[in-house]
């Protein structure tokens, strides 16, 4: 299964329901507009039988990071850097949860960010986790920033090593 860029002419955004209203609303009303403005990119996983049905989605962009909220070793290594790739949103429709699609989407997002980092280097990937989803990201090696449990990071090097 592959992810594709959100296409509002093809994908049925109104049907999507992950149980978190702000995420549903972002997909319905903002994602396409934000992509048009080059502010964010949203990728969707289509149902293999009905391509208009969105199983899940994620949104990527960049974020500035305060290295002070990282362990000292990372601060030293990356002291000249101040940006990270951001998985701003990631969600699976309630009808499809518990089947591995969240994992598929997360790995797909990490691969795309790793690829992007080969062109425009940045040392970290950050996620903004909704309450209740922190454990999901920790399962895949993410660590919370010192100042915020809901904001987690993974280094590009860790991603490279685990994907290779």
| Site residues for ligand COA per CB under 6 A | 18-20, 23, 89-92, 97-103, 129-130, 132-133, 135-136, 139
Instruction: Tell me how far, at minimum, the Cβ of 164 lies from ligand COA, in Å.
Output: 21
In the complex with ligand COA, the residue whose CB is nearer, 99 or 160, is 99
Report the sign of the C-alpha dihedral through residues 10, 12, 13, 17, in that order: negative
Instruction: Tell me how far, at minimum, the Cβ of 96 lies from ligand COA, in Å.
Output: 6
Instruction: Tell me how far, at minimum, the Cβ of 150 lies from ligand COA, in Å.
Output: 9
Instruction: Tell me how far, at minimum, the Cβ of 26 lies from ligand COA, in Å.
Output: 10
In the complex with ligand COA, the residue whose CB is nearer, 116 or 133, is 133
In the complex with ligand COA, the residue whose CB is nearer, 80 or 132, is 132
CA angle 19, 22, 24 (to 5 degrees): 55
What is the rounded radius of gyration, in angstroms, for the C-alpha atoms of the chain? Answer: 16
By beta-carbon distance, which residue lies closest to ligand COA?
102
């Amino acid at each position: 299964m592959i992810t594709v860029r959100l296409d509002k002419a093809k994908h049925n955004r109104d049907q999507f329901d992950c149980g978190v209203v702000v995420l549903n609303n972002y997909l319905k009303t903002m994602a396409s507009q934000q992509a048009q403005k080059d502010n964010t990119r949203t990728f969707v996983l289509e149902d293999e039988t009905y391509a208009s049905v969105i199983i899940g989605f994620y949104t990527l962009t960049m974020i500035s990071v305060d290295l002070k909220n990282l362990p000292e070793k990372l601060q030293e290594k990356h002291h000249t850097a101040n940006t990270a790739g951001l998985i701003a949103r990631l969600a699976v429709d309630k009808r499809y949860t518990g089947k591995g699609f969240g994992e598929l989407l997360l790995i797909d997002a990490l691969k795309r960010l790793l690829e992007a980092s080969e062109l425009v280097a940045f040392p970290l990937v950050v996620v903004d986790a909704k309450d209740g989803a922190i454990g999901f990201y920790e399962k895949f090696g993410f660590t919370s920033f010192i100042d915020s449990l809901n904001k987690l990071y993974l280094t590009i090097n860790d991603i490279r090593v685990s994907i290779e």
